[in-house]
A and B are shown apart, each in its own frame.
Chain A
Amino acid sequence: MNGTYLSRITSFFYRACNSELAYRFRHSSTAIVAALVCLVCIVGTLLAPWLAPHHPFDLKTLDLLDSLLPPFWLQDGKSSYPLGTDNQGRDIFSAILYGARISLFVGVGSVFFSLVLGVILGLLAGYAGGKTDAFIMRVADVQLAFPAILIALLIDGIARLLIPKDAQEQIALYVLILAIGFSGWVQYARTVRGSTMVEKRKEYVQAAHIIGRHPAAIMFQHVLPNVIGPVFIIATLHIGTAVITEATLSYLGIGVPPTRPSLGMLIRNGNDFLFSGEWWIVVFPGLMLVTMVLSINVLGNWLREGLNPRAGL
């Protein structure tokens, strides 16, 4: 049992390392750099509690005497606060690590929600056809007419009004994930619907149908594995968008709660200090956000072009 698993895993890795994609990856400096940056960002945020020199949201450890310190290479900077501190004496570097963690959590979470919702609806529309298909796709068309960020903003804005104030802090993050996730399901549904309609006509689906398998089982066990490929490419590119949406909503003050600041929230906090010259409170979280999104997008674009058979033309 163990042996077969192990050999399966090794053979998977063997095939992965010898695939054309891996070959292209080794020969594309852009992809390698983007992957490295991505990896550093992800590892940095996952290990934030151990890597961060301070705990920026533990009020006991904050010292107001250390507030508004510049980065260490400037005059008055302290080496214990490498990127400076904000008006409450919080270490910017630590705040960025924790903030990026929340940004990534919301980004990945909402993409996952979008993906699940979109794939289920797409499968249903493509497989069932008829009225179900028409209804789902009509809703998708209507939603596509509005920009995703506006939909997320409206859902989140309305949801905040419906939630009682005392519960807001705990569930705001999840409301945000649902709002952003709901704004992005259409592209998954469209892709999956299209390929499901093609798969539906193939013999293996008809065979499964004839031996009397349940339609749900056919959809999820037989059709799904054959239509899921392109979904992951969309998802990679979608993470960048979702992170930006989260940052924007948080910047507007309707995203994450102030007690758990994401990168967008950190930028919002620093906005007030632009004019008094404390640029580091805004600039470093901003750079982190751009670096993260850029590396994800470059990787996603490369993946899309690498896996697209027409890209070579």
Chain B
Amino acid sequence: MIAFFFRRFLQAIVVMLAVGFIAFSLFQYVGDPVMIMLGQDATVMDRARLTRELELDRSFIVQFIHFVNNALHGEFGISYRLGRPVAALIAERLPATLELAGMAALLSLLIGLPVGVYAALRPHWWFTRFIMAASLIGVAIPTFLVGIFLIMIFAVQLAWLPSFGRGETVVLGWWTTGLLTASGLKALILPTITLGLFQTTLIMRLVRSEMLEVLRTDYIKFAHARGLPERNIYFGHALKNTLVPVITIAGLQLGSIIAFSVITETVFQWPGMGLLFIQAVNTADIPVMAAYLCLIALVFIVINLVVDLLYYVIDPRLRIERDTAS
């Protein structure tokens, strides 16, 4: 078991190093940082000095080690576009993205789970058919279009909700939150729906199919035969076994939500990391791009690692298979 943890951990580090290498190569092949920082008119002396200061005259390997060391300390240099440290920019924008992602995840669980269970219990009910058809259409609508349609209806036509920004925010230490003001909450509604819609349909379909599978098994039939009350069978026995894969997928989807927030944040001009990243891509702001790349990779790798390890802990069958195989 320790060997498995160790192998998995080592793999995560290799992947992280690979991503770091890609981020690092960006600096190498795109633009000339000395030129960007000093401008066209700098003297040869100034350039040579800055080149030495930035250690650009050292070998590739030394520079890469230096980069990794800096990245481990959370330093990615200074944004070309905004002229401020990248770490500070990201720390500033992190709360906005995390609040949006958290609310979207909550929405998808609160709606996806019960609707999925009911869709499995009553497969021929008109509402189930309607939901299944609607979810098929939902998959065909790209996230950004959902946002645009929501803005058109609720912000432009009805003028109920704001179409961009976070509203008023409250500062709590280093965290700025929009959850404590009325305008902040109102501003959160449309982006949350936009971001959460896809995940909601996903979780709903997943819960439904898992539940249908479980309901066909012998132990559920046997539970019926034993005369247990329906509620007990469905929610005590069936749902419990459905939840393991659902929790896995929901966990993995958390990373997707953060990634997809790039799109939602652009549509709603939400001042989060995703918007920062898209602006960086459009203006070739390499330090911000590199930092975002590393950060998002870290998020994904940590989530995957945790889910993998949890699976190993939760599901005893996996352990036995692996132990007998090795």
A residues contacting B by CB (< 8 A) are 138, 142, 145-147, 149-150, 153-154, 157-158, 160-162, 240, 244, 247-248, 251-254, 264, 267, 271, 274-275, 277, 279, 282-283, 286, 289-290, 293-294, 297-298, 301
Residues of B within 8 A of A157 (CB): 281, 289
Contact across chains for B142 and A247 when beta carbons are under 8 A apart: yes
Residues of B within 8 A of A248 (CB): 142-144, 263
Contact across chains for A301 and B136 when beta carbons are under 8 A apart: yes
Give bound CA distance, A147 to B148, whole Å. 22
- The stretch of B165-173, B296-304, B314-322 that contacts the partner chain: B296-304
Contact across chains for A286 and B143 when beta carbons are under 8 A apart: no
Contact across chains for B145 and A267 when beta carbons are under 8 A apart: yes
Q: List 22 A-B contacts (CB under 8 A).
A: A142-B15, A147-B255, A147-B260, A149-B260, A150-B259, A153-B281, A158-B22, A161-B31, A162-B29, A247-B144, A247-B145, A248-B142, A251-B263, A252-B263, A267-B145, A274-B152, A279-B152, A282-B152, A286-B145, A289-B142, A290-B145, A294-B137
Residues of B within 8 A of A145 (CB): 252, 255, 300-301, 304
B residues contacting A by CB (< 8 A) are 11, 15, 22, 26, 29-31, 136-137, 139-145, 148-149, 151-152, 156, 163, 252, 255-256, 259-260, 262-263, 266, 278, 281-282, 284, 286, 289, 293, 296-297, 300-301, 304
Residues of B within 8 A of A158 (CB): 22, 26, 289
Residues of B within 8 A of A264 (CB): 142
Asked whether A294 and B259 contact (CB < 8 A) given A150-B296, A252-B278, A274-B156, the answer is: no
Residues of B within 8 A of A154 (CB): 293
Give bound CA distance, A256 to B148, whole Å. 20
Residues of B within 8 A of A244 (CB): 140, 142
- Shortest Cβ distance from A295 into B: residue: B140
Give bound CA distance, A275 to B281, whole Å. 26
Contacts A297-B136, A301-B136 aside, 13 further interface pairs with beta carbons under 8 A come to A145-B304, A147-B260, A161-B31, A161-B286, A271-B148, A274-B156, A286-B148, A286-B149, A289-B142, A290-B145, A294-B136, A294-B137, A298-B136
- Shortest Cβ distance from A246 into B: residue: B142
Residues of B within 8 A of A160 (CB): 281
* Main secondary structure on B side of the interface with A: helix
Give bound CA distance, A146 to B22, whole Å. 15
Residues of B within 8 A of A290 (CB): 137, 140-141, 145
Closest Cβ–Cβ distance, residue A222 to chain B (whole Å): 31
Give bound CA distance, A150 to B151, whole Å. 24
Residues of B within 8 A of A251 (CB): 142, 144, 263, 266
- Shortest Cβ distance from A301 into B: residue: B136
Give bound CA distance, A157 to B296, whole Å. 15
Residues of B within 8 A of A146 (CB): 255, 259, 297, 300
Give bound CA distance, A264 to B200, whole Å. 24
Closest Cβ–Cβ distance, residue B164 to chain A (whole Å): 10
Contact across chains for A149 and B15 when beta carbons are under 8 A apart: no
- Shortest Cβ distance from B18 into A: residue: A142
Give bound CA distance, A100 to B152, whole Å. 23
Give bound CA distance, A293 to B144, whole Å. 15
Give bound CA distance, A213 to B255, whole Å. 47
Contact across chains for A282 and B148 when beta carbons are under 8 A apart: yes
Contact across chains for B259 and A267 when beta carbons are under 8 A apart: no
Contact across chains for B136 and A275 when beta carbons are under 8 A apart: no
Contact across chains for B141 and A161 when beta carbons are under 8 A apart: no
Give bound CA distance, A103 to B278, whole Å. 21
Contact across chains for B148 and A267 when beta carbons are under 8 A apart: yes
Residues of A within 8 A of B151 (CB): 274
- Shortest Cβ distance from A161 into B: residue: B30
Give bound CA distance, A275 to B159, whole Å. 11
Closest Cβ–Cβ distance, residue B151 to chain A (whole Å): 6
Give bound CA distance, A271 to B293, whole Å. 28
Contact across chains for B136 and A147 when beta carbons are under 8 A apart: no
Contact across chains for B139 and A297 when beta carbons are under 8 A apart: yes
Residues of A within 8 A of B136 (CB): 294, 297-298, 301
Closest Cβ–Cβ distance, residue A304 to chain B (whole Å): 13
Closest Cβ–Cβ distance, residue A205 to chain B (whole Å): 26
Q: Which 3 A-B pairs have the closest CB atoms?
A: A294-B140, A157-B281, A293-B140
Residues of B within 8 A of A293 (CB): 140-142
Contact across chains for A267 and B144 when beta carbons are under 8 A apart: yes
Residues of A within 8 A of B163 (CB): 275
Residues of B within 8 A of A267 (CB): 144-145, 148
Closest Cβ–Cβ distance, residue B103 to chain A (whole Å): 19
